[in-house]
Every structure is written in C-alpha cells, then in structure tokens.
Amino acid sequence: MSRPNILLIVADDLGFSDIGAFGGEIDTPRLDALAKAGLRFTDFHTASACSPTRSMLLTGTDHHIAGIGSMAEALPDEVKDKPGYEGHLNQRVVTLPELLRDAGYATLMSGKWHLGRTPTSLPGARGFERSFALIPGAANHYGFEPALAPEQRPGLLRSTAGLYTENDRFIDALPADFYSTDSFTDILLGYFQELEDVGDERPFFAYLPYSAPHWPLQAPDEVIAKYRGRYDAGPAALREERLAALKRLGLIGEEVEAHPVTTKTPPWEELSEERRAFLSRAMEVYAAMVDRMDWNIGRVLDHLEARGKLDDTIVLFLSDNGAEGTLLEAWPTFGPNLEAVIAEYYDNSLENIGRGNSYVWYGPRWAQAATAPARLQKGFTTEGGIRVVSFLHYPAIARKAEVAHDFATVMDIAPTLLDFAGVAHPGGEYRGRAIEAPRGRSWRNWLEGRSEQIHADDTITGWELFGRKAVRKGQWKAVFIPAPSGPETWQLYDLARDPGEVHDLAASQPDKLAELLAGWAQYVRENGVIDFPRLKPVFGDE
C-alpha cells in the first residue's frame, strides 16, 4: 500500500459538543459528514491547555519532557529554568514533521504554533518545509491592534499581540483582508498548489491548527447573523439540549449524570436584560467562528477530492483542550486595567461584537454547556478540561462509521501517523543528540481490527498543569484540584459509571486511591514533573 497523505486539523478551545456530529446545533456539515463516515472518539484526552497539548501532539511525549511543563506565559517561579520547563519545544524530543520530512514527505503548516519563538523552536527548525505560523497562543483574528505602546498594554494584550512568521521569517504586516481562519486555509491551499505546479508527487503531511474559536470572539457579520436569537434562552437551556443530543447519538449513556455547573457567576435568570443580550451575542459570534472553520475545512476537503487524494488521506481532527471558560477580567495576570483599556480602545457595543475592533469572551457557563456531562473546563485536569472532541477519517481502515469509547490520548497521534507512514521512531538518538521515546501508543493494530484495545488496563496516564493533577489507570481516575475550584485533596472516580466525576469514592475505596497515587508517583518520576503540593493558580478558577 502506498504511503498515505496526512491532514491534521486542530481547533483551538473547541467544546466537546460544539459540532453537529457530537451533539451541537452549530452548522458544521463538512465536519459532521467526515466524522460520521469515520471514527468518533468519546474518551480521547489532551492536556488541559493549548501549548502543552501541541507539544504532546507533535512529539508523542509528555509535555513535561518536551519543554512545556508549564505554559511559557505563566511559568511559576518554582519551575523556571528547570528541565522540561523551558517554555518552548526543547531538544530532548524529535517531532513528527521532522521524521516525516526525513522519510520523504512534504511537510506543510498553516496556523497557530505556540511552541516557542527561539531559533530552534520555530516551525522550520522542527521539520516544516513551508509554514505560516501565529507564534503566540492567541491574537486578534482580523489583525487589529490598539494604538498603544507595548508597555501600556495589559498583560493579556501584550501576550497576544499578533506575531507571525512565514518560513521562520517574522513578517511585518498582515494583508488588509486578513481573517485568521480564512487566511490560514488560503495559505495551506497555496502550498498544495505550489507542489502541484512543480510536479512534486511526494505524500504530504499538512498541519492546519486554527486559532478559532479561541477568544477574542470574532467572525464575519454574515455568519454571525445566522445565529441571531439562537442562544437567547441561555447556557443552562443549551446544556440540556446538548446533553440530550449526546445521548441520542450514543456518545454518552442514557444514565450518565452530568456534573453541576461550577462557577461563581450568577445564573441567567438573575442577569439584567442588557447582560443577557451581551452574552447571547458573544455565543452567537462563537458559533459563527465554528461555522466558518467548518466552511474552510470544506474548502480543503474539496481541493483534495477534486484531485482524487481524499480517500488516500488520513484526516485527524481534534480540539486542543476543553472549552475555554475563564473570566479574563477577573485575573491580575491579564491586567492591569484590562477592562479599562478594552473600553477605551475597542468597541464592544452590541451591534459591533464580533468585528475586529471588539474584544469579548464568553465565560464559564457557555463553556460548561459544551463540556457537559464533564466537570469544569479548560485549564483543569477534570474531564471537562482534558476530554475533547476528536475523530479520524481514513477509508483504508477497518473501523469506520463508528463511535469508539476506548481510552486514547493526544500522545498516541504521532506514533500512529508514523506507523501508517512506515516510519520508525529513532528511539534514543536523533542527529547526534539524545532524545526521549514517545509515551503514546500507535492505534494502527486497533484501527485495523488486530487488537481489541489501544491501552492496557494497567497503563498509567498522568496530567499536571498549574498544580492541578490527575492520574488514570483503566476506568479509575484520581484528581487533585486546588482551592477555590476544588477541595485541595485527592478525589477518586470510577469513570465507567461516573464520567461526570460527580461521586467521589476516595473515602469508600482507600485502597484503590492508594493504587492510583502510586501510579501518580510513577508518572512524576518518569516525566520529570515538579510536583508542588500547591502552585499559585494561573487562570481558570471561577
């Protein structure tokens, strides 16, 4: 069999049930068709935030090994300058595009990078022949920047100032008609055309990591208009609607108990009419961002189909973490004076929300409508932060048009794609430097029907970010969430019976908790985790 092409698509902060094939009401026909014809995962896990996930995705290792033990924007003093906490992709790992490039693949990227801006951590230095990259973790989707000197900007606007590279050369200005989702797609399609123009028939690895639907919430007016009034009933109503759809689609069991919404923000019925209108509009814009992403993905699929390449292409789609519910205005790390600066330099009037000179986010209640039945959202090691939407489409495999409830992680993707490409990981050395082997496991035997499960029941998988921790072994999971969002003690859950993490079994099953905590200690040792009992929270507590 010839080597497959690979299209790896990452959405930024997309909720588990946002797209139609996963229970959502947003208009996503292209993703829905692809997902339903492929294999939908219900128990696929990432890290709890974006750059750690991306390091795991491209290396198959834990993010504490790859250099993103904590996000570069929020490295606690306790971990600065420690191995694995460099804040960028380090030299202890080799990347998927490096190995595919060496094996004769054309390696292309267009979208969000968020893995460092040092010379050795930019896309071209890590295997991409052609790349257009947003380097920080977020940016204005229209390229709008306020007329403020860097030192006058709140921390949020400093960390998300637009910084782009093309083939690792920093660019000075974006086109006047720039919109991130459209432009990232345009550029990837241009790279495809370049290969065709010179008769380059190598298989391709195309990485398309969108920065949508990450805040600031912005989308074309005509797409936002499709959703006018759709969310006027509020997030609680949407949550119930999504839960019913997830059950109807067989993505969760009928008996599943959803975790209660966890937030200090007032419920919908206690808000003023003006505040409800504002939050409804924010959700309308969010939906439009997802809608526009689907349309653009359709453009890529149409291009491949027109050239007879789609059936020979592995398409993998995932979100990088759970839905984003942080109240950015409540966090000193995003200031000072964030709200005052936005009020002066942006226009967040109701009719303008969603345009380039607006700056809004949608908050924890909308986010937890999208993570239900799971607990909490992005930034947390509860299921709401790490269990994400994902599917694989590849007609050559035995398993398709299915829903898979098997446990899998983002670290499995690099080994899986290398396996299908016929490329062996080099093990402990690459180009004269020592490297770490992948922690993930290839899905190929499982996908082709030669194996009953991906991970053995005794496999230990751990998570840690911002002092929030979790460890899983089979159907059991232990979670540690510091105050104020958690009890600041280890909790125990049987995910087979309680995927919402509602019923803590730590007191009734002390031996099982001890077993899981032994697994946690193993994870810490093997991955170089600096296990502080309590790190100052960076964001996400509500």
Q: Is 425 a catalytic residue?
A: no
The two tokens of residue 488 are: 């600041």
| 88 residue type, one letter | H
Please give the C-alpha separations between residue 255 and each of 13, 250, 406, 486, 498, in angstroms, as whole numbers: 27, 11, 19, 25, 9
Of the candidates 45, 63, 114, 259, the residue annotated as catalytic is 114
Closest CA to 353 of 363, 361, 365: 361
Q: Give, for 169, the enclosing helix (H) or strand (E).
A: strand 169-170
Q: Rounded distance, CA 230 to CA 239, Å?
A: 13
How many domains are contained in the chain? Answer: 1
Position 419 in a domain: yes
Ordered mean pLDDT values, 10 residues apiece, the chain (542 residues): 92 98 98 98 97 98 96 82 93 98 98 96 98 95 86 74 91 94 98 97 98 97 98 98 98 97 96 98 98 98 98 98 86 72 92 97 97 97 98 94 97 98 96 96 95 95 95 98 92 98 98 98 96 56 50
Q: Is 114 a catalytic residue?
A: yes
**pLDDT reported for residue 333:** 64
- For the question of whether the overall pTM of this predicted structure is more than 0.75, the answer is yes
CATH code for the domain in which residue 242 is found: 3.40.720.10
Q: Rounded distance, CA 315 to CA 312, Å?
A: 10
Position 103 in a domain: yes
Position 521 in a domain: no
Position 286 in a domain: yes
Q: First-to-last CA distance in the chain?
A: 52
User: Domain range for residue 69?
Assistant: 5-455
User: What does the radius of gyration of the chain's CA atoms come to, in whole angstroms?
Assistant: 22
Position 508 in a domain: no
Is the peptide bond prior to 267 cis by the omega test (within 30 degrees of 0)?
no
The two tokens of residue 387 are: 């269990």
Q: Rounded distance, CA 140 to CA 59, Å?
A: 28
Q: How much helix, strand and coil, in percent to the nearest 5, is found in the chain?
A: 35, 15, 50
Position 26 in a domain: yes
Position 60 in a domain: yes
Position 226 in a domain: yes
The two tokens of residue 278 are: 């504002």
